[in-house]
Amino acid sequence: MKRAGEYIELLIVLVIVIGCHAVKNTQVVIPTFDKHGHRGARGLLPENTIPGMLKAIDLGVTTLEMDAVITADGKLILSHEPFFHHDISSKPNGEPVSATEEKSLNIYKMDFAATQQYDVGLRGNPRFLRQEKIKAVKPLLSNVISEVEKYARNKYSRSLFYSIETKSNPATDNIYHPAPEVYVDQLMAVVIKQKVDNRTIIQSFDFRTLQVLHRKYPAVQTSALVEPFDKRSLNDHIISLGFTPSIYSPNYVLVTPALVDSCHARGMRIIPWTVNDAVMISKLKLMKVDGIISDYPDLFE
């Protein structure tokens, strides 16, 4: 009986140890001040590309901000627009994409293989003169996550958060993107398969996608994006959403000490976008924002 009792005690200890280990592995520490690299490091390397994401990691960001769109064959790729923007894109023959034709190059109507024939880095971006010009394509979201996880783990022994924006609008459902529920399910399938759902934030100006997230994937963080011309109040936005998001993310011009206090009183973090000036970053830090989104991660201290 004594030996049986010892076995039982040992089993109890093993269950406790294994259980504690499982809990420990799922715990994620949110950064005290969250440094978001906007589209990777758009001011320094082509936006929404793997080299840009790795550069942002080298510069110490804690969260990689990116945009995800869907191809005709259901692949999630990184792109701010659901088409090839004329500022940065070159056609397969090397000619620049024109402003008049860009929206006809609809990624939602193109197979993934076709999207890889367009370069989005060699021309640079006329708005970001410090941006290095390199050959680049719009990568698979799954490949971005795999490369980031490997790079951050091997070089810095750390993990990154991912803030992924859904690029949807009621007027373009099933034209440039699927309807919200399908969009969210396809996005989350990638995130869950890559095992980063506990370090992922889904952000959007389209509150419909956040509502789907909140209903179907309640453990995933949500971020409500707010345009500078949006005159609705914080309370109006929460009423419109139907729930309190994890993060309130207004354009930085909307941020005031009172807004910061209101967000914190509701248990939300406030992370403004897109701040490309060191002086403004300092001012916002003094207001006690919880993070900042910037095209220039080298501006973070």
The number of distinct structural domains making up the chain is: 1
Rounded CA separation 75/113 (Å): 10
Structure tokens at 236: 């109006």
The sign of the torsion formed by the CA atoms of 251, 256, 258, 264 equals: positive
DSSP letter (8 states) at residue 297: G
This prediction's pTM: 0.91
pLDDT value of residue 27: 56
Angle in degrees, CA 103, 109, 112, rounded to 5: 110
Residues 74, 102 contacting (CB under 8 angstroms): no
Residue 145: which CATH number? Answer: 3.20.20.190
Does a structural domain hold residue 27? no
Does a structural domain hold residue 18? no
pLDDT value of residue 166: 98
Does a structural domain hold residue 3? no
- pLDDT per residue rounded down to tens, the chain (301 residues): 444 444 444 443 444 334 443 333 355 788 999 999 999 999 999 999 999 999 999 999 999 999 999 999 999 999 999 999 999 999 999 999 999 999 999 999 999 999 999 999 999 999 999 999 999 999 999 999 999 999 999 999 999 999 999 999 999 999 999 999 999 999 999 999 999 999 999 999 999 999 999 999 999 999 999 999 999 999 999 999 999 999 999 999 999 999 999 999 999 999 999 999 999 999 999 999 999 999 999 999 7
Does a structural domain hold residue 148? yes
Rounded CA separation 151/295 (Å): 21
Does a structural domain hold residue 8? no
pLDDT value of residue 236: 98
Residues 77, 115 contacting (CB under 8 angstroms): yes
Helices (H), the chain: 2-26, 50-58, 112-115, 141-156, 180-193, 207-216, 234-241, 257-265, 278-286
Q: Which domain holds residue 101?
A: 33-299
Does a structural domain hold residue 4? no
Burial letters for 225-262: b for 16+ Cβ neighbours within 10 Å, e otherwise? Answer: bbeeeeeeebeebbeebeeebbbbbbbbebbeeebbeb
Does a structural domain hold residue 96? yes
Partner residues linked to 293 by β-bridges: 36
